[in-house]
Structures are given as structure tokens and as C-alpha cells.
């Protein structure tokens, strides 16, 4: 079995701003056709990392290859072949939507027809609107459409759903899946856990300029999610025996809310033990750990 070729490889990337080390040791690879997530708290070095890959930053150390090119030597080659939606950028307020797409599409012969892109991203009615008159969400969608205007092999989306309301965010996720279906590899920078969990095939968690975990969302949840959690409510005391139920490792109580943690078939044993004692909570349930739990476990030790 051969794995698909890597479109991005990063080995021991290092980036300093003066004495400030933004990225100290970041390594990962992105395979063709996947949606790859870079997840981390604000200031972790996510944007610095992707901007280094796009040839927008000098690189102090490490080996980087994007579509087979080294951003230190062939930044222009890379930029021509990728699409980028930057976290901080803008267009002139008086530039119209269609003018922007027309201009960016002209960067590469055979780029996509901007009318299709407008329709894809729900901007068809806004073709003649000026950039400055668009809402935050519309501006974000325009930037993503611009990132796709040169029909790139690889697209970088940096915090693209920031500023979108929940409904537009769902729409954007669907569109990101469609980008991938067209054969474009997607590198998604985000600090939104549900976004990463829903969209990414694989991801790295970055904190303080280093990679602290790498894997599929499900793999990370299994590894760092903190086992199984069973929750229910019960009025009254006398449940101290819960700690002795098989597979249970920990019991937390907040007034009438109980959280039982453990490994394996915790739910079945807890349910049986409760019923045996005549207690049948209607809200007994097992809660699945989410990427958010993983993220907090990996990056937020100081609040423990």
C-alpha cells in the first residue's frame, strides 16, 4: 500500500521575531486531497506557521516543502499555485466584488470563471457591491472565493469562519468539503474545536510554537479525551458507593449533578448498580469526549 504523496512537509520549522520565538519546533506533513487542521490557542504560532509556508515570512530554521518547492527560494512559484485566505488582509473599500474576482482570476491563465465562484459562495447578488459595503461574513466568503480564483492545488484557510454566524458557518463547512471534492488539498487554521472535529481528516495541535499532538480527531479523542464520562442527576446523598463500581475511576458531584469517569463499559455497570438500589435517573447518559476536551487537556494545564 502506498500513501498519497505529501503536498506539504514541514520539519522542525523555526521562526523568530527578534528575540521572540513564535515557532520553535513544528513538524507535520499534509497529504494530497485531505483537509488538514492546524489547531491551537491564540498566539500559538498557527498563522506564523502557515504564512511561512506561503512564502510570506522568512524562515530561521528547519526544512519546508510546499508542492515540491522551498518557500525560501521559490516563494513566487508557490504563491502562483496555492490559494490563501489570510487572517488579516483587506481590499480597497471601493473595489467591487466582481472586479476583485476578475483581477485575482487573471493571475493564472485558465483560472475559474468568477461567476461560478460567486454563485458557489452565495455572492451572486453582491457582484456589483463594493467591498466596504459587505458584511463581515460576506467579506470572509469573498476572500475564500478569491483564494480559489486561480484554481489552486492547495488552499490555506486561516480562521475563515471567524466572524460568521452559526448558520453561515455550517454553509462554509459544506463549501470547504466541496473544495476538497474538487481535488484541492485544504490546510485549515482554526481555534474552533467543532470546526476541526467536523472537517479535518488529520490535524496538529500547536501550543507555544510547538506541536503537542498529531492525529485524526477521533484518534486524538481516544488518546487524550480522558476516557468515558457518565452523567446523571440525583437528589439526595448516599451515592458514595459509586466509586467502587467496576470500571469507575472517579466520581465528581456538583449539587445534584453527578459525573462518573472511567474506562470501558462504565455506563452499563453504573446503570445496573443504580437500578439495583432502586435509583433510575431519567437523564442517565454517556457523554462522548470532544476535541475540546483534548484541546484543553493538551494546552491549558495552568487552569487545572
Partner 1 sequence: MRLLTKMSWLELKLFLREPLTVLFAVALPLLVLFVMGGVFGNEVDAEFYRGIGAMDYYVPAYVALVTASVGLISLPVHIAGNRELGVLKRYHASGMPTWVVVGASVITMFIIALFSAVLLVAVAKLVHNIAMPDSTSGVSAAFVVSGLAFAALGVLLGAVLPNARAAQALGVLLWFVMLILGGAGPPPEVLTGVMDPIGRITPLRHAIRAMQDGWLRLDAGLSWLIVALVFVGATAAANRYFRWE
Residues in contact with partner 1 by the rule CB under 8 A: 54, 56, 76, 79-80, 83-84, 86, 88-92, 94-95, 99, 102-104, 106-107, 146, 150
**Exposure string (b/e) for 52-78, b if CB count within 10 Å is 16 or more?**
bbbbbbebeebebbbbebebeebbebb
- Number of Cβ within 10 Å of residue 98's Cβ equals 16
Provide, rounded to whole angstroms, the least separation between the CB of residue 154 and partner 1: 13
What is the rounded radius of gyration, in angstroms, for the C-alpha atoms of the chain? 23
Cβ closer to partner 1: 128 or 304?
128
Closer residue to partner 1 (CB): 91 or 176:
91
In angstroms, give the least distance from the CB of 115 to partner 1.
17
- Closest contact distance (angstroms) between CB of 229 and partner 1 is 43
Minimum distance, C-beta of residue 127 to partner 1, in the bound complex (Å): 15
Q: Which residues contact 66 (CB under 8 A, 6 or more apart)?
A: 7, 8, 53, 54, 55, 78, 82, 154
- Distance separating alpha carbons of residues 249 and 246, to the nearest angstrom: 8
Closer CB to partner 1, 83 or 217, in the complex: 83
Which CB sits closer to partner 1, 23 or 242?
A: 23
Select from 82, 87, 60 the least CA-distant residue to 69: 82
In the complex, minimum distance from the CB of residue 42 to partner 1, in angstroms, rounded to a whole number: 18
Distance, CA of 101 to CA of 150 (rounded, Å): 10
Cell triple for residue 41?
Answer: 490557542
CA dihedral 165, 209, 15, 37 (to 10 degrees): -40
Query: In the bound complex, what is the minimum distance in angstroms from residue 88's beta carbon to partner 1?
Result: 5
- Given the complex with partner 1, which of 56 and 171 has the nearer CB atom? 56
Minimum Å distance from CB 91 to partner 1?
6
Measured CA to CA, the distance from residue 27 to residue 183 in angstroms comes to 24
Which residues are CB-neighbours of 262 under 8 A, at least 6 positions away? 227, 228, 230, 247, 248, 249, 250
Reduced to 3 states (helix: H, G, I; strand: E, B; else coil), residue 255 is coil
Return the number of the residue (71 or 137) whose C-beta is nearest partner 1.
71
Identity of the residue, 21 or 56, whose beta carbon is nearer to partner 1 in the bound complex: 56
Amino acid at each position: 500500500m502506498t500513501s498519497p504523496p505529501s503536498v506539504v512537509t514541514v520539519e522542525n520549522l523555526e521562526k523568530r521575531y527578534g528575540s521572540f520565538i513564535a515557532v520553535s519546533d513544528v513538524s507535520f506533513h499534509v497529504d494530497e486531497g485531505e483537509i488538514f487542521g492546524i489547531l491551537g490557542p491564540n498566539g500559538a504560532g498557527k498563522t506564523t506557521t502557515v504564512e511561512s509556508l506561503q512564502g510570506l515570512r522568512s524562515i530561521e530554521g528547519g526544512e519546508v516543502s510546499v508542492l515540491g518547492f522551498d518557500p525560501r527560494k521559490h516563494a513566487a512559484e508557490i504563491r502562483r499555485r496555492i490559494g490563501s485566505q489570510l487572517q488579516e488582509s483587506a481590499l480597497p473599500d471601493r473595489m467591487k466584488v466582481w472586479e476583485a474576482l476578475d483581477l485575482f482570476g487573471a493571475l493564472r491563465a485558465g483560472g475559474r470563471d468568477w461567476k461560478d465562484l460567486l454563485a458557489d459562495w452565495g455572492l451572486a447578488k453582491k457582484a456589483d457591491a463594493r467591498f466596504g459595503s459587505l458584511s463581515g461574513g460576506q467579506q470572509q466568503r469573498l476572500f475564500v472565493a478569491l483564494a480559489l480564483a486561480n484554481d489552486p492545488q492547495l488552499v490555506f484557510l486561516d480562521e475563515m469562519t471567524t466572524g460568521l454566524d452559526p448558520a453561515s458557518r455550517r454553509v462554509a463547512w459544506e463549501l470547504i468539503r466541496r473544495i476538497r471534492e474538487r481535488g484541492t488539498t485544504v490546510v485549515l487554521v482554526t481555534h474552533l474545536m467543532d470546526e476541526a472535529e467536523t472537517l479535518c481528516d488529520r490535524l496538529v495541535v500547536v501550543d507555544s510554537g510547538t506541536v503537542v499532538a498529531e492525529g485524526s480527531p477521533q484518534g486524538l479523542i481516544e488518546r487524550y479525551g480522558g476516557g468515558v464520562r457518565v452523567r446523571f442527576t440525583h437528589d439526595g446523598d448516599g451515592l458514595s458507593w459509586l466509586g467502587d463500581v467496576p470500571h469507575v475511576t472517579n466520581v465528581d458531584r456538583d449539587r445534584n449533578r453527578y459525573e462518573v469517569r472511567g474506562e470501558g463499559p462504565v455506563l452499563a455497570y453504573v446503570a445496573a448498580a443504580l437500578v439495583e438500589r432502586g435509583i433510575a435517573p431519567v437523564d442517565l447518559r454517556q457523554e462522548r469526549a470532544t476535541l475540546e476536551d483534548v484541546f484543553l487537556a493538551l494546552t491549558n494545564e495552568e487552569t487545572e
